[in-house]
Amino acid sequence: MCGLAGVARLDGQDLGPEFDALLNDFADLLHHRGPDERELLRSGPVGLAFTRLSLVNPQDGTQPLVSDDGNLVLIANGEVYNHKELAAGLPSDVRLKTGSDCEVLLYLYRQHGLDFLRDVRGMFAIVLWDRARGQLVLARDRFGIKPLYYHRTDERIVLSSEIKGLFADPATPRRFAWDKALALPALAAAPRFSAEQMCTWFEGVESVPAASVLRVDLRDGRTTEHRYWELPTEADESTSAEGFIERYGDLLEASIRDCATADSELGLFLSGGIDSSIVLALARTQVEDIHTFTVLSGGTHANGDAEHASWLSRLWGVHNHQVLFEPDLTPTPEEWRRLVWLTESPMVGPEVYYKHELHRFARQVRPELRGMLLGAASDEFNGGYSDGMSDDWPSFLAGLTGMNRTTHFDRLPGLRHWWGEDESFLSDDALDSLGRTRSADVYASYVLSEYRKIQQYNVWHEDRTAAGSGVEARVPFLDHRIVELTSSIPEHLRPRLLWDKRILRDAVGSRLPQRIAERPKGPFFYGSGTHHAYGMLVRLMNGNRQELVERALAAPGADAYLDAGAIRRRLSDFADGTSDSPSVELLTRIINMGLLAEMVTSAPQLESMNAGTVRSELRVQSDPVADTQQLFEPRRSHDLDGVPVSAKGLLLLSHDSGDWYLANDGQIEFVLEPDSPIVRVLQRIDGTATLATVLSEARVELTAVEEELDTLVDQRLILFVA
Measure the CA dihedral 106/107/112/113, to 10°: 30
Determine the pLDDT at residue 490: 97
The string over 430-447, giving b where at least 16 C-beta atoms fall within 10 Å of a residue's C-beta and e elsewhere, is bbeeeeeebeeebbbbbb
Burial class (CB within 10 angstroms; exposed 0-12, middle 13-18, buried 19+) of 572: exposed
Is residue 471 scored above 80 in pLDDT? Answer: yes
| CA separation for the pair 553, 21 (Å, rounded) | 35
Determine the pLDDT at residue 195: 86
∠ CA 568-570-572, rounded to 5°: 70
Q: What is the pLDDT of residues 544-563, one digit of tens each?
A: 999 999 999 999 999 999 99
Q: What is the pLDDT of residues 413-464, one digit of tens each?
A: 777 777 766 566 777 676 656 645 555 789 999 999 999 999 999 999 999 9
Is residue 338 scored above 70 in pLDDT? Answer: yes
- Among 258-267, 346-355, 637-646, the minimum mean pLDDT is found in 637-646
Taking residue 197's Cβ as centre, other Cβ atoms within 10 Å add up to: 13
Q: Answer yes or no: are the C-beta atoms of 675 and 624 closer than 8 Å.
A: no
Determine the pLDDT at residue 408: 80
pLDDT tier at 60, thresholds 50, 70, 90:
low
Is residue 475 scored above 90 in pLDDT? Answer: yes
| CA separation for the pair 68, 62 (Å, rounded) | 15
Determine the pLDDT at residue 153: 96
pLDDT tier at 626, thresholds 50, 70, 90:
low
Q: What is the pLDDT of residues 656-700, one digit of tens each?
A: 777 888 888 777 778 888 788 999 999 999 989 999 999 999 999
Measure the CA dihedral 91/95/97/99, to 10°: 60
* Residue 2 designated active-site: yes
Determine the pLDDT at residue 577: 56
> Taking the complete model, does pTM exceed 0.95, yes or no?
no
Q: Answer yes or no: are the C-beta atoms of 85 and 39 closer than 8 Å.
A: no
Determine the pLDDT at residue 355: 97
Q: Per the residue annotation, which of 2, 102, 199, 259 is the catalytic one? A: 2
Determine the pLDDT at residue 217: 97
Is residue 647 scored above 90 in pLDDT? Answer: no
Peptide bond into 64 cis (omega under 30): yes
Across the range 387-394, mean pLDDT stands at: 84
Across the range 182-200, mean pLDDT stands at: 92
pLDDT tier at 62, thresholds 50, 70, 90:
confident
Q: What is the pLDDT of residues 102-156, one digit of tens each?
A: 999 999 999 999 999 999 999 999 999 999 999 999 999 999 999 999 999 999 9
DSSP assignment of 576-629 equals TS----THHHHHHHHHHHHHHHHHTTT---GGGS---PPPPB----S-HHHHHH
First to last CA, the chain: 57
Mean of per-residue pLDDT scores for the chain: 91
Amino acid at the residue 3: G
Determine the pLDDT at residue 389: 76
The radius of gyration of the chain from alpha carbons, rounded to an integer in Å, stands at 27
Sign of the four-CA dihedral 539, 545, 548, 552: positive
Across the range 555-579, mean pLDDT stands at: 86
Determine the pLDDT at residue 621: 58
Q: Answer yes or no: are the C-beta atoms of 306 and 296 closer than 8 Å.
A: yes
Is residue 494 scored above 70 in pLDDT? Answer: yes
Is residue 55 scored above 70 in pLDDT? Answer: no
Reference 533, options 299, 253, 267, 718; nearest CA is: 299
Q: Using the 8-state DSSP alphabet, how is residue 309 labeled?
A: H
| CA separation for the pair 78, 100 (Å, rounded) | 11
Is residue 470 scored above 80 in pLDDT? Answer: yes
- Among 242-251, 332-341, 398-407, 629-638, the minimum mean pLDDT is found in 629-638
| CA separation for the pair 248, 445 (Å, rounded) | 22
Determine the pLDDT at residue 583: 87
pLDDT tier at 167, thresholds 50, 70, 90:
very high
Determine the pLDDT at residue 473: 97
Across the range 590-611, mean pLDDT stands at: 95
Reference 467, options 123, 171, 59; nearest CA is: 123
The string over 299-333, giving b where at least 16 C-beta atoms fall within 10 Å of a residue's C-beta and e elsewhere, is bbbbbbbbbbbbbbbeeeebebbbbbbbeebbbbb
